Amino acid sequence: MKLYNTLSKAKEDFVPIEEGKVKMYVCGPTVYNYIHIGNARPMIVFDTVRRYFEYKGYEVNFVSNFTDVDDKIIKKAIEEGVTAEEISKRYIKECKHDMDGMNVKPATKHPLATEEIGGMVEMIQTLIGKGYAYEKNGTVYFRTRRFKDYGKLSHKNLDDLQSGGRSLLVTGEDEKEDPLDFVLWKPKKEGEPAWESPWGEGRPGWHIECSEMSKKYLGEQIDIHAGGEDLVFPHHENEIAQSEAANGREFAKYWMHNAFLNIDNRKMSKSLGNFFTVREISEKYDLQVLRFFMLSAHYRSPLNFSADLMDAARTGLERIRNAADNLKFLRENAKLKEMTEAEKEKLDRAGEYVRGFEKAMDDDFNTADAIASIFELVKYSNTTADEESSAEYLESLLGLIVKLSDVLGIQSEKEEEILADDIEALIEERQEARKARDFARADKIRDELLAKGIILEDTREGVKWKKA
């Protein structure tokens, strides 16, 4: 099994630190809003990586944090006149709801930065003790040049960074020994959440959070550390410096980074304002379509979001679901129970597509080719399964489709999910029926929606709906 390691800029064989186990850390979102579909890309990609390791028989310890203390959270809390904790709790809950909709498995552990401050303080103390960090007026900085391997992940050279970082000296951080030094601990500002520390009240820098949480839940050395490509520098570079300086050993063996999700060929980001939240998308599409769309490209290729590609993903997903449905229908009506000799041979040939799927996934998780193999299997199933087939053969084909789809987190069984647009259309129809005094029809629509878990409320401002 090969995966691309940002550290060596090459595909490498995966060799676990501990036989049969994978220790994996994925940087999670900062929770100050609903997640957007760009944030969803690493979630879906690395959930798929995890699922494939599990399919291969590995036990995966998968840790992904929530950054729940940050300037943006504090800003949002001030805007709403509530505590930062209220904001982060709210959006963690919403994020988990979206993850569930995208069939992203919960991590083995989702640590919260605010619950791990003690460990971060200890790690900073260790760094100071070893001469890798120093305090100035309540701020603790990492002494970047002291860490000899600095730049090894982002393949940056310290002197280039030095000339790029010079402007920092005039932007208020002039107490640093060197413009390359970065913050480990910052002093409290009025009205901000703060914790006690040997350097006075304050809060940790973002990078130290992940170094500490990874160490606490996975140990000093892990197999894979992952996130979006924007995190390579400075976030992951700084995590390496902190962890390796403090622990005295290599931090992560493999560093994986997904490329960006773009919109109109520009990076989708909160700061540019050109993003869709997962929640918005869920009102128009089944989130399984979003997942299928994400996996239709290789995770290291940029992906442009478009209605056309989403439609193509919907059609692809339908193709798989229809084949699975067809197999189920045939199986229920099959006259023959056990597989014939000829069918056993046919099933052996279907194994070809499973091998194709594994070959694609073994090659740095090439989900685009893996999906192509599922399509071939679907085609094979459509051409070899019919009314004459045995229940056992049909069941085996169905099992293969379900098993491979499941590795990608794709639910090959049809879901009766009702979309917001359809709900609105039915409400409209109900209003028309009431106007025409066709109350039987109006009630029928209400009951139909209720059966799908949608509750209607007639209010003075019109009809409102909510999910039960």
Binding site for ligand AMP (CB under 6 A): 27, 29-30, 38-39, 41-42, 227-228, 230-231, 258, 260-261, 267-269
Least distance to ligand AMP from the beta carbon of 273, Å? Answer: 13
The option from ligand AMP, Zn ion, none interacting with 30 (CB < 5 to 8 A, set by class) reads: ligand AMP
Least distance to ligand AMP from the beta carbon of 80, Å? Answer: 19
Which is nearer to Zn ion, 210 or 268 (by Cβ)?
210
d(CA 7, CA 190): 40
Nearest partner of 291 among 325, 262, 316, 323, judged by Cα? 316
Least distance to ligand AMP from the beta carbon of 234, Å? Answer: 13
The option from Zn ion, ligand AMP, none interacting with 431 (CB < 5 to 8 A, set by class) reads: none
- Token reading at 136: 């100035």
The option from ligand AMP, Zn ion, none interacting with 374 (CB < 5 to 8 A, set by class) reads: none
d(CA 152, CA 145): 13
Strand order in the sheet with 261-263: 266-267, 261-263, 303-305
Distances (CA, A) of 49 to 60, 217, 250: 10, 19, 22
Which is nearer to ligand AMP, 282 or 411 (by Cβ)?
282
CA atoms within 13 A on the CB side of 368: 7
Least distance to Zn ion from the beta carbon of 145, Å? Answer: 23
Touching Zn ion, residues 170-229 (CB under 5 A) = 210
Nearest partner of 180 among 114, 227, 234, 131, judged by Cα? 234
Which is nearer to ligand AMP, 156 or 270 (by Cβ)?
270
Position of minimal CB gap to ligand AMP: 228
Does 374 sit near Zn ion (CB under 5 A)? no
d(CA 66, CA 27): 8
The option from Zn ion, ligand AMP, none interacting with 193 (CB < 5 to 8 A, set by class) reads: none
Which is nearer to ligand AMP, 94 or 230 (by Cβ)?
230
Which is nearer to Zn ion, 232 or 374 (by Cβ)?
232
d(CA 398, CA 389): 13
Instruction: Give SS3 for 13.
Output: strand
Nearest partner of 380 among 411, 345, 413, judged by Cα? 345
Among all chains, which residue has been given the structure tokens 């036990």? 59
Nearest partner of 199 among 127, 113, 114, judged by Cα? 127
The option from ligand AMP, Zn ion, none interacting with 120 (CB < 5 to 8 A, set by class) reads: none
Which is nearer to Zn ion, 240 or 407 (by Cβ)?
240
Instruction: Give SS3 for 190.
Output: coil
The option from ligand AMP, Zn ion, none interacting with 210 (CB < 5 to 8 A, set by class) reads: Zn ion
Tell me 21's DSSP state: E
Return the residue of 7, 27, 40, 95 that touches Zn ion, per CB under 5 A. Answer: 27
Which is nearer to ligand AMP, 182 or 393 (by Cβ)?
182
The option from ligand AMP, Zn ion, none interacting with 39 (CB < 5 to 8 A, set by class) reads: ligand AMP
Least distance to ligand AMP from the beta carbon of 421, Å? Answer: 25
Least distance to ligand AMP from the beta carbon of 429, Å? Answer: 38
The option from ligand AMP, Zn ion, none interacting with 42 (CB < 5 to 8 A, set by class) reads: ligand AMP
Query: 199 burial class (0-12, 13-18, 19+ CB within 10 angstroms)?
Result: buried
Which is nearer to ligand AMP, 220 or 230 (by Cβ)?
230
Tell me 235's DSSP state: I
- Token reading at 294: 């994400």
Q: Using CA of residue 99, residue 104, residue 110, residue 112, what is the dihedral sign?
A: negative
Q: Which stretch binds Zn ion (CB under 5 A): 19-27, 113-121, 293-301, 449-457?
A: 19-27
Which is nearer to ligand AMP, 97 or 267 (by Cβ)?
267
The option from ligand AMP, Zn ion, none interacting with 173 (CB < 5 to 8 A, set by class) reads: none
Least distance to ligand AMP from the beta carbon of 345, Å? Answer: 45
The enclosing H or E element of 252 equals strand 252-258
Which is nearer to ligand AMP, 38 or 111 (by Cβ)?
38
Which is nearer to ligand AMP, 29 or 409 (by Cβ)?
29
Instruction: Report CA 159 to chain centroid distance, whole Å.
Output: 35
Residues touching Zn ion, count (CB under 5 A): 2
The option from ligand AMP, Zn ion, none interacting with 111 (CB < 5 to 8 A, set by class) reads: none
Least distance to ligand AMP from the beta carbon of 233, Å? Answer: 12
Instruction: Give SS3 for 455.
Output: strand
d(CA 68, CA 62): 19
Distant-in-sequence, close-in-space partners of 235: CB < 8 Å, separation ≥ 6: 27, 206, 207, 210, 227
- Token reading at 323: 């084949």
d(CA 360, CA 436): 58
The option from ligand AMP, Zn ion, none interacting with 62 (CB < 5 to 8 A, set by class) reads: none
Q: Note the residues at the interface with Zn ion (CB under 5 A).
A: 27, 210
